[in-house]
Amino acid sequence: MSSDSTKTAARFSSQIYASRLAKAAEYAGEAGVAALLITPGPDLQYLVGSKASSFERLICLVVPADGTTPSVVVPRLELAALADSAVDELGLTVADWVDGVSPYDIVAKALPAGAATAVDDAMPALHLLPLADTLGRTPILATDVLRRLRMLKDDAEIEALRRAGQAIDRVHGRMAEFLTVGRTEAAVAADIAAAIVEEGHTEAAFIIVGSGPHGADPHHEVSERIIEAGDVVVIDIGGPVAPGYNSDSTRTYVLGEPSSEVAAHYAVLERAQQAAVDAVKPGVTAESIDAAARDILVAEGLGEVFLHRTGHGIGLSVHEEPYIVSGNDIELAERMAFSIEPGIYFRGQWGARIEDIVVVTADGCESVNLRPHGLTVLPVG
């Protein structure tokens, strides 16, 4: 089932990571900090391609703002966690340590005395507090520096998002195999999970099968509810495609012909989603994209049943910046990637959502999801 087009290496080339590290150092200097301290999580994966996990022993990438060679502080028994990363190819200094040695002292020695440092959002308090004690000052968050880096996707990231979009489109294209009357949501989800991997993902990160009244809960997952004729079913699915970039796509299905009310409300939702897509271009604000969808729903009396923001950024994390929401006045820029997913939710009755991932281009946007947006009618027999 899977396509060779979705298969790629576990990480990017060392040249890509070298460029990212150089920009990280530059941006850290502009932010007035001497170094970035990055622990396992999406930021570490972004900078050096490491998927190491965080445990009670500190793993920390130290990126000096002055452009000197970054170093990685790692427990000796976790050296294998760096094996699939670009650390060796990049020539980074590896400072390994054993139990009984303070890794926080090792980090401190890699920094100028009294220097201001910034840590990633994922650093556990288990490490942040002793690190602050050792440094004699509390680090600030590196959120602004890392957001500036990760919001603008490079060519390799955009291509990875395209592959992810194509892979999840193929899963939606198979929905008639799975979504039938008489099956439980859980059984449908199990088949979808298998298909997500078959079509090129490394795993299924999330699956929502919201049938009938469950579709009115935007974050419903699955249950033992039996799907019935006439049900409107929200299918929101996604997962990572190597080297870790995520798909996220929602389509809405109906078992048998929809009622006139469902069809009419869904037509408004489809128009709202398309209006938001059409509004995307560099220089407009994130909140204006939210308004493009929301204003149509409000005008048609559906504003109160649109319960969430219009979208979220995506990449190594399923949800990351920029967030497409009222109050976010950040200006969109070429190479930003995010979802556009307005929904309508009638409590106790049914719900619907349409979601595409788009990448901002020079004069608009490219959608990486190409499945039809209409309410897909599936047979009942």
Q: What is the dihedral of CA 45, 50, 54, 57, to 10 degrees?
A: -140
Instruction: Please tell me the predicted confidence (pLDDT) of residue 6.
Output: 46
Q: Which residue has the tokens 């999330």?
A: 206
Residue 4: predicted pLDDT:
44
Residue for token pair 């796509």? 249
pLDDT band at 3 (very low <50, low <70, confident <90, very high): very low
pLDDT tier, 158 (very low <50, low <70, confident <90, very high otherwise): very high
Q: How far apart are CA 172 and CA 204, in angstroms?
A: 13
Q: Which of 120-124, 350-354, 355-359 has the lowest mean pLDDT?
A: 120-124
Q: What is the pLDDT of residue 261?
A: 98
Candidates 60, 64, 12, 17; CA nearest to 36 is 64
pLDDT in the model for residue 8: 63
List, for residues 38-49, the tens digit of each pLDDT value: 999 999 999 999
Residue 90's SS3 state is: helix
Q: Mean pLDDT over residues 77-89, rounded?
A: 93
Mean pLDDT, the chain, rounded, equals 96
Residue 348 CB burial class (10 angstroms; 0-12, 13-18, ≥19): exposed
CB 214 within 8 A of CB 225: yes
pLDDT at 296: 98
Instruction: Kindly list the structural domains of the chain, giving each domain's residue range(s) and its CATH number in brackets, ordered by start.
Output: 14-150 (3.40.350.10), 152-378 (3.90.230.10)
- The pLDDT, as a whole number, for residue 54 is 81
What percent of the chain stands above pLDDT 70? 98
At 187-240, the pLDDT tens digits run 999 999 999 999 999 999 999 999 999 999 999 999 999 999 999 999 999 999
- Strand segments (E) across the chain: 35-38, 60-64, 71-75, 93-97, 117-119, 140-141, 206-211, 232-238, 240-241, 245-246, 249-255, 311-313, 320-324, 337-340, 343-346, 350-353, 356-360, 365-367, 376-378
pTM score, two decimals? 0.94
